[in-house]
Chain A
Protein backbone atom coordinates (compact mmCIF):
# COMPACT_ATOMS: atom_id res chain seq x y z
CA UNK A 1 0.00 0.00 0.00
CA UNK A 2 1.29 3.45 -0.93
CA UNK A 3 2.39 5.56 2.05
CA UNK A 4 3.38 9.18 2.60
CA UNK A 5 4.90 10.52 5.82
CA UNK A 6 5.33 14.23 6.38
CA UNK A 7 7.40 15.94 9.06
CA UNK A 8 7.21 17.84 11.22
CA UNK A 9 3.44 17.71 11.71
CA UNK A 10 3.38 21.33 12.83
CA UNK A 11 5.74 24.25 12.86
CA UNK A 12 5.66 27.79 14.24
CA UNK A 13 8.09 30.37 12.84
CA UNK A 14 8.42 34.13 12.66
CA UNK A 15 8.14 36.25 9.56
CA UNK A 16 11.37 36.24 7.61
CA UNK A 17 12.42 32.76 8.71
CA UNK A 18 13.22 30.00 6.23
CA UNK A 19 11.43 26.67 6.65
CA UNK A 20 11.97 23.20 5.24
CA UNK A 21 9.07 20.76 5.08
CA UNK A 22 9.79 17.07 4.60
CA UNK A 23 7.97 14.31 2.79
CA UNK A 24 9.02 10.68 2.55
CA UNK A 25 7.12 8.10 0.58
CA UNK A 26 6.67 4.50 -0.44
CA UNK A 27 4.80 3.92 -3.66
CA UNK A 28 4.52 1.15 -6.21
CA UNK A 29 5.67 2.34 -9.62
CA UNK A 30 6.20 5.99 -8.80
CA UNK A 31 4.89 8.49 -11.31
CA UNK A 32 4.94 11.86 -9.54
CA UNK A 33 5.04 13.67 -6.22
CA UNK A 34 2.90 16.74 -5.68
CA UNK A 35 2.80 19.52 -3.12
CA UNK A 36 -0.39 21.36 -2.25
CA UNK A 37 -1.18 24.30 0.03
CA UNK A 38 -4.46 24.12 1.96
CA UNK A 39 -5.53 27.37 3.59
CA UNK A 40 -9.21 26.98 4.27
CA UNK A 41 -10.70 24.12 2.32
CA UNK A 42 -9.53 23.51 -1.25
CA UNK A 43 -5.92 22.35 -1.61
CA UNK A 44 -4.18 24.46 -4.24
CA UNK A 45 -1.48 22.99 -6.43
CA UNK A 46 2.11 24.11 -5.82
CA UNK A 47 4.51 21.73 -7.54
CA UNK A 48 4.70 18.44 -9.38
CA UNK A 49 8.01 16.58 -9.29
CA UNK A 50 8.89 13.59 -11.42
CA UNK A 51 12.68 13.64 -11.74
CA UNK A 52 15.38 13.53 -9.08
CA UNK A 53 17.60 16.50 -8.42
CA UNK A 54 15.71 19.05 -10.50
CA UNK A 55 14.57 21.94 -8.35
CA UNK A 56 11.19 23.47 -9.04
CA UNK A 57 10.89 27.09 -7.99
CA UNK A 58 8.04 29.55 -7.69
CA UNK A 59 8.86 32.82 -5.99
CA UNK A 60 9.93 32.10 -2.42
CA UNK A 61 8.92 28.44 -2.66
CA UNK A 62 11.10 25.68 -4.04
CA UNK A 63 11.00 21.90 -4.00
CA UNK A 64 13.23 19.03 -4.93
CA UNK A 65 12.83 15.27 -5.19
CA UNK A 66 15.24 12.44 -4.36
CA UNK A 67 13.94 9.25 -5.95
CA UNK A 68 16.79 7.17 -4.58
CA UNK A 69 16.13 8.08 -0.95
CA UNK A 70 12.36 8.44 -1.57
CA UNK A 71 11.83 11.91 -0.19
CA UNK A 72 11.08 15.45 -1.15
CA UNK A 73 11.50 18.79 0.57
CA UNK A 74 9.58 22.01 0.22
CA UNK A 75 11.49 25.17 1.15
CA UNK A 76 9.93 28.51 1.89
CA UNK A 77 12.28 31.48 2.28
CA UNK A 78 11.49 34.85 3.86
CA UNK A 79 8.21 33.50 5.24
CA UNK A 80 5.16 35.76 5.47
CA UNK A 81 1.99 35.45 7.53
CA UNK A 82 0.18 34.54 4.31
CA UNK A 83 2.25 31.37 4.15
CA UNK A 84 0.35 30.05 7.19
CA UNK A 85 -1.46 26.96 5.94
CA UNK A 86 -1.40 23.18 5.84
CA UNK A 87 1.10 21.85 3.31
CA UNK A 88 0.14 18.51 1.81
CA UNK A 89 2.42 16.10 0.00
CA UNK A 90 0.93 13.44 -2.27
CA UNK A 91 2.28 10.70 -4.52
CA UNK A 92 0.86 9.13 -7.61
CA UNK A 93 1.72 5.67 -8.87
CA UNK A 94 1.64 4.47 -12.45
CA UNK A 95 -1.48 2.52 -13.15
CA UNK A 96 -3.18 3.90 -10.07
CA UNK A 97 -5.86 5.64 -12.10
CA UNK A 98 -4.27 8.91 -10.99
CA UNK A 99 -5.25 8.22 -7.41
CA UNK A 100 -3.27 10.47 -5.09
CA UNK A 101 -2.05 9.18 -1.72
CA UNK A 102 -1.65 12.08 0.69
CA UNK A 103 0.33 12.55 3.86
CA UNK A 104 -1.30 14.01 6.96
CA UNK A 105 -0.03 17.47 6.13
CA UNK A 106 2.23 19.94 7.91
CA UNK A 107 0.58 22.86 9.70
CA UNK A 108 2.76 25.94 9.30
CA UNK A 109 2.05 29.01 11.42
CA UNK A 110 3.99 32.19 10.62
CA UNK A 111 3.88 34.78 13.40
CA UNK A 112 4.36 38.47 12.68
Chain B
Protein backbone atom coordinates (compact mmCIF):
# COMPACT_ATOMS: atom_id res chain seq x y z
CA UNK B 1 0.00 0.00 0.00
CA UNK B 2 1.46 3.35 -1.04
CA UNK B 3 -0.68 5.76 0.96
CA UNK B 4 -2.18 7.19 -2.22
CA UNK B 5 -5.96 6.85 -2.26
CA UNK B 6 -8.45 7.35 -5.06
CA UNK B 7 -12.20 7.58 -5.20
CA UNK B 8 -14.46 6.22 -6.38
CA UNK B 9 -13.05 2.76 -7.13
CA UNK B 10 -15.49 2.14 -9.94
CA UNK B 11 -17.86 4.35 -11.90
CA UNK B 12 -20.30 3.88 -14.75
CA UNK B 13 -21.30 6.91 -16.83
CA UNK B 14 -23.19 7.55 -20.02
CA UNK B 15 -21.67 9.13 -23.12
CA UNK B 16 -21.86 12.92 -22.94
CA UNK B 17 -21.86 13.08 -19.14
CA UNK B 18 -19.19 14.63 -16.97
CA UNK B 19 -17.13 12.89 -14.28
CA UNK B 20 -14.86 13.93 -11.40
CA UNK B 21 -12.24 11.57 -10.01
CA UNK B 22 -10.37 12.25 -6.78
CA UNK B 23 -6.90 11.49 -5.48
CA UNK B 24 -5.25 11.99 -2.10
CA UNK B 25 -1.50 11.95 -2.33
CA UNK B 26 0.95 10.29 0.01
CA UNK B 27 1.76 12.40 3.04
CA UNK B 28 4.35 15.03 2.21
CA UNK B 29 4.13 14.57 -1.55
CA UNK B 30 3.51 17.85 -3.38
CA UNK B 31 3.27 16.62 -6.97
CA UNK B 32 0.41 14.62 -8.48
CA UNK B 33 0.35 13.04 -11.92
CA UNK B 34 -2.67 11.49 -13.62
CA UNK B 35 -2.55 8.58 -16.09
CA UNK B 36 -5.12 6.80 -18.25
CA UNK B 37 -4.67 3.06 -18.70
CA UNK B 38 -6.85 1.46 -21.36
CA UNK B 39 -7.28 -2.30 -21.35
CA UNK B 40 -4.12 -4.05 -22.53
CA UNK B 41 -2.12 -0.83 -22.63
CA UNK B 42 0.41 0.86 -20.41
CA UNK B 43 -0.56 4.01 -18.50
CA UNK B 44 -0.60 7.20 -20.60
CA UNK B 45 0.32 10.52 -19.03
CA UNK B 46 -2.58 13.00 -18.86
CA UNK B 47 -1.11 15.85 -16.79
CA UNK B 48 0.77 16.74 -13.65
CA UNK B 49 0.10 19.27 -10.90
CA UNK B 50 2.65 20.93 -8.66
CA UNK B 51 1.79 23.65 -6.15
CA UNK B 52 -1.76 23.82 -7.48
CA UNK B 53 -0.69 24.55 -11.06
CA UNK B 54 -0.56 22.33 -14.13
CA UNK B 55 3.07 21.42 -14.67
CA UNK B 56 3.00 19.41 -17.89
CA UNK B 57 0.39 17.80 -20.09
CA UNK B 58 0.20 14.78 -22.39
CA UNK B 59 -1.76 14.41 -25.62
CA UNK B 60 -5.24 14.71 -24.15
CA UNK B 61 -7.95 17.15 -25.28
CA UNK B 62 -9.03 20.14 -23.15
CA UNK B 63 -12.11 18.29 -21.92
CA UNK B 64 -9.66 16.56 -19.55
CA UNK B 65 -8.93 19.09 -16.82
CA UNK B 66 -7.65 18.99 -13.29
CA UNK B 67 -7.18 20.74 -10.00
CA UNK B 68 -4.78 20.46 -7.12
CA UNK B 69 -5.73 21.74 -3.68
CA UNK B 70 -3.56 23.30 -0.95
CA UNK B 71 -3.39 19.93 0.82
CA UNK B 72 -1.98 18.48 -2.45
CA UNK B 73 -5.02 16.32 -3.14
CA UNK B 74 -6.20 16.46 -6.72
CA UNK B 75 -9.18 16.04 -9.02
CA UNK B 76 -9.43 14.91 -12.62
CA UNK B 77 -12.48 16.16 -14.50
CA UNK B 78 -13.60 14.79 -17.83
CA UNK B 79 -16.38 16.51 -19.76
CA UNK B 80 -18.46 15.20 -22.66
CA UNK B 81 -17.51 11.60 -21.98
CA UNK B 82 -16.82 9.36 -24.96
CA UNK B 83 -16.84 5.57 -25.13
CA UNK B 84 -13.04 5.57 -25.56
CA UNK B 85 -12.67 7.26 -22.18
CA UNK B 86 -13.43 3.90 -20.57
CA UNK B 87 -10.22 3.02 -18.75
CA UNK B 88 -8.45 2.76 -15.41
CA UNK B 89 -7.44 6.21 -14.21
CA UNK B 90 -4.37 6.23 -12.01
CA UNK B 91 -2.93 9.02 -9.97
CA UNK B 92 0.62 9.03 -8.71
CA UNK B 93 2.18 11.29 -6.12
CA UNK B 94 5.80 12.25 -5.71
CA UNK B 95 8.12 14.80 -4.21
CA UNK B 96 9.28 17.61 -6.47
CA UNK B 97 12.82 16.78 -5.34
CA UNK B 98 12.43 13.11 -6.41
CA UNK B 99 9.98 13.19 -9.30
CA UNK B 100 10.93 9.76 -10.61
CA UNK B 101 9.71 8.07 -7.41
CA UNK B 102 6.04 8.09 -8.24
CA UNK B 103 3.71 6.16 -5.93
CA UNK B 104 0.51 5.03 -7.57
CA UNK B 105 -2.97 4.82 -6.14
CA UNK B 106 -5.28 1.86 -6.78
CA UNK B 107 -7.05 3.64 -9.61
CA UNK B 108 -10.62 4.39 -10.60
CA UNK B 109 -12.20 2.12 -13.19
CA UNK B 110 -14.42 4.29 -15.43
CA UNK B 111 -16.88 2.64 -17.80
CA UNK B 112 -18.67 4.82 -20.35
CA UNK B 113 -21.75 3.31 -21.99
Contact = CB atoms under 8 A, between A and B. Distances in A.
Interface residues of B, number: 28
Interface string B18-47: 000000000000010101000011111100
B45 A100 contact: yes
A111 interface: no
A102 B56 contact: no
B107 A41 contact: yes
Contacts of B2: 42, 44
A104 B39 CA distance: 10
Contact of B56 (A34, A40, A96, A103): A96
A42 B31 CA distance: 17
B48 A97 contact: yes
A67 interface: no
Contact of B44 (A32, A42, A48, A102): A102
A32 B42 contact: no
Given A96-B56, A97-B55, A102-B43, A48 B101 contact: yes
A101 interface: yes
B42 A105 contact: yes
B66 interface: no
B19 to A, nearest CB: 18
B22 to A, nearest CB: 15
B43 A43 contact: yes
25 contacts: A31-B100, A32-B100, A34-B100, A41-B107, A42-B104, A42-B106, A42-B107, A43-B43, A43-B104, A45-B101, A45-B102, A45-B103, A48-B101, A88-B43, A90-B43, A92-B100, A97-B56, A98-B99, A99-B56, A99-B58, A100-B35, A102-B35, A102-B44, A103-B42, A104-B41
Interface of A: 4, 6, 31-32, 34, 36, 40-45, 48, 88, 90, 92, 96-105
